[in-house]
Amino acid sequence: MIIDASTLDATSAYKLLIGSILPRAIGWVSTLSPGGVANLAPISFFTAVGRLPPMVSLSLQPRSDGVTLKDTFTNIRDTGEFVTNLVTLPQAHHMHRSAFEFPSDVDEFEAVGLEKEACQVVRAPRVKGAPIAMECRLERVITIGDLGDHVVFGEVVRFHIRDDLYLDRGRIDTAALAAVGRLAAEYSLVNNVFTTPLESDLLASLDGRRMARLDAHAADFSPIDTGSWSASGSTAA
């Protein structure tokens, strides 16, 4: 199958991107509005983009109506601050619920049942219990395309790392994290690790095998085929 990208609408292109770029890291982004309302949202167009200073980027689409800017974006734009929190399995459902499109005056920490932890430099809170969080200051915003998408670059000014995860020589014990990543419209638990090469018998035994589901859904289930999915990265309540 060869698809000419110029023939695609935004939703079709989004489906191909999220189904092809995986697994994606989740930046669970906490912000504070200028009026002091806390917001929390998972952003899976998220990555590291610089080392000195350390920098991350977020790509944000409008809400599911295709017009209204997300609170995460407007809060970052208006305050110049945000926090990215690492998602692990114990908080995965809270993260999923924070993708719902709550009204702007709703404190999403309270709405999904999470506690806040104060940051050192930025006013936005971090997620209590998240093993790693990064306090960020806005570095720049770039508008992408004609549909109101924006790329946000943030300079990391503080790393919060749980003590038992911080190893000698500054390394993080990644095998102890049970991190959660994003697939197309579902999630993936990072629970195995390897270096190459692997034994040929093992490769043969895994060739063509489908992912194991941790839930009770059928092997070919996808939230994209349900009414709860939208091409904005948000989840319908």
Q: What percent of the chain has pLDDT over 70?
A: 99
Q: What is the pLDDT of residue 234?
A: 80
Q: What is the pLDDT of residue 23?
A: 96
Kindly list the distances between the CA atom of residue 207 and the CA atoms of 19, 95, 200, 203, 204, in Å, as whole numbers in the listed order. 19, 32, 10, 6, 5
End-to-end Cα, the chain, rounded Å = 34
State residue 153 phi and psi, 5-degree precision.
-110, 130
Average pLDDT, the chain: 95
Q: What is the pLDDT of residues 32-46, one digit of tens each?
A: 999 999 999 999 999
Hey, what are 74's tokens? 């407007």
Q: What is the pLDDT of residue 233?
A: 79
Contact 100, 39 (CB under 8 A): no
In the predicted structure, residue 207 carries a pLDDT above the cut 90: yes
In the predicted structure, residue 237 carries a pLDDT above the cut 60: no
Q: What is the pLDDT of residue 227?
A: 82
Q: Domain 11-225 is in which class?
A: mainly beta
Q: Which of 121, 132, 134, 139 is nearest to 76 (CA)?
A: 139
Contact 44, 26 (CB under 8 A): yes
- CA–CA distance, 119 with 199 (Å, rounded to integer): 46
Q: What is the mean pLDDT of residues 56-84?
A: 96
Q: What is the pLDDT of residue 6?
A: 95
Q: What is the mean pLDDT of residues 49-59?
A: 97
Q: What is the pLDDT of residues 123-171, one digit of tens each?
A: 999 999 999 999 999 999 999 998 999 999 999 999 999 999 999 999 9
Q: What is the pLDDT of residues 79-135, one digit of tens each?
A: 999 999 999 999 999 999 999 999 999 999 999 999 999 999 999 999 999 999 999
Q: What is the pLDDT of residue 230?
A: 84
Q: What is the pLDDT of residue 236?
A: 64
- CA–CA distance, 208 with 66 (Å, rounded to integer): 37
H-type helices in 114-237, by residue range? 200-206
- Sorted by where each begins, the domain ranges of the chain are 11-225
